[in-house]
Amino acid sequence: MKRSSTVLLTALAPVSWGTTYAVTTELLPADRPLFTGLMRALPAGLLLLALGRVLPRGAWWGKAAILGALNIGAFFPLLFLSAYRLPGGMAAVVGSVGPLFVVGLSALLLGRRPTARTVLAGVVAAFGVSLVVLKAAGALDPLGVLAALASTASMSAGTVLTKRWGRPDGVGPLALAGWQLTAGGLLIAPLALLVEGAPPALDGRAVGGYLYLALANTAVSYWLWFRGIGRLTATQVTFLGPLSPLTAAVVGWAALGQALTPLQLTGMALAFGATVAGQLRAGGTAVRTFGPAGGGKPREDRNRDRDRDRDGDGDRDTDRPDARGPALRG
């Protein structure tokens, strides 16, 4: 039951991210992707820093900077760049291969052997998303494709490294999210100023849109996302990613009057089924893990989840370095 509730809470993050397109197109200034990324990341990061009231220590200054660059600072600009340069939905299709990226990186960095079932679920998820969002038309822009692949690889690497490094003693997911969002926002700020110039004038609709993106869409969502990484496997978390384009399609139908064809509904069913399959596979009790260099003896996943509850929420933390044993320590 606890694992199911963790999955559901973590799933709220990509569901929230699925509303980003509608909010951006309906409420925000046009053609300001970097400024939008900055307004999502930096205010949310500073808010979580104030709430968490803890700063990185020692090696975690460097780790927080790396994770912030991968999960936020590089991911946001590359994602927006790909969306602007690729024909309808192609960026989302490329992004939907994230589970496959994480499966490969988990094998290298976490010692988790990929299974045919997991790989198949990843392929089905990507295929289902392509049926939902892919539109006809348009030559593929090489820079757009490269940006989409790089954004997916960046977020995937950030997810796996977040799982590998865990959190310092006494630090919860709220503080960890604050560190990364602040670091990522500080990386985006000079780029936004250099490429897009001074901030645009904002009306009431834009202010409301940015408040939503910074608070619900980013601060709360990334806290839930990093909390989920701590309690679930990296593969299990990333299989929730396809919920984002599926939510975008539903929002487009419900709020923007966009039609859903039978082919799109079929794709939604396939992608959602693959997402569920990813959770069932990752939640099994016979997931064998090995050290990053291939050494060590296999262990059952449930034997690595017996550390104390350090967040006071009644759930066990599996992202603590001392809870994973030497095989997963950063």
Cβ(177)–Cβ(15) under 8 Å? no
Residue 268 in this model has a pLDDT that exceeds 70: yes
Letter for the amino acid at 247?
T
pLDDT band at 254 (very low <50, low <70, confident <90, very high): confident
Q: Is 296 left (phi over 0), alpha (psi -120 to 50) or beta?
A: left
- Dist CA 187 CA 157 (whole Å): 18
Q: Is 58 left (phi over 0), alpha (psi -120 to 50) or beta?
A: left
Cβ(77)–Cβ(34) under 8 Å? yes
Count of alpha carbons within 13 angstroms of residue 297, beta-carbon side:
2
Which pLDDT score, from 0 to 100, does residue 258 have?
A: 76
Residue 292 in this model has a pLDDT that exceeds 50: no
Separation in Å, CA 202 to CA 29, 243, 328: 8, 30, 46
Token digits of residue 314: 């009644």
pLDDT: which is higher, 293 or 242: 242
Residue 286 in this model has a pLDDT that exceeds 70: no
- Dist CA 115 CA 271 (whole Å): 19
pLDDT (tens digit per residue) in 61-86: 999 999 999 999 999 888 878 777 76
Letter for the amino acid at 101?
F
**At CA 161, angle to CA 282 and CA 313, rounded to 5?**
60
Query: For the ranges 1-10, 173-182, 279-288, 302-311, which has the lowest average pLDDT?
Result: 302-311
pTM of the model: 0.78
pLDDT (tens digit per residue) in 7-51: 999 999 999 998 888 888 889 988 888 999 999 999 999 999 999
What DSSP string describes 179-238?
A: HHHHHHHHHHHHHHHHHH-SPPP--HHHHHHHHHHHIIIIIIHHHHHHHHHHHS-HHHHH
Which pLDDT score, from 0 to 100, does residue 116 have?
A: 87
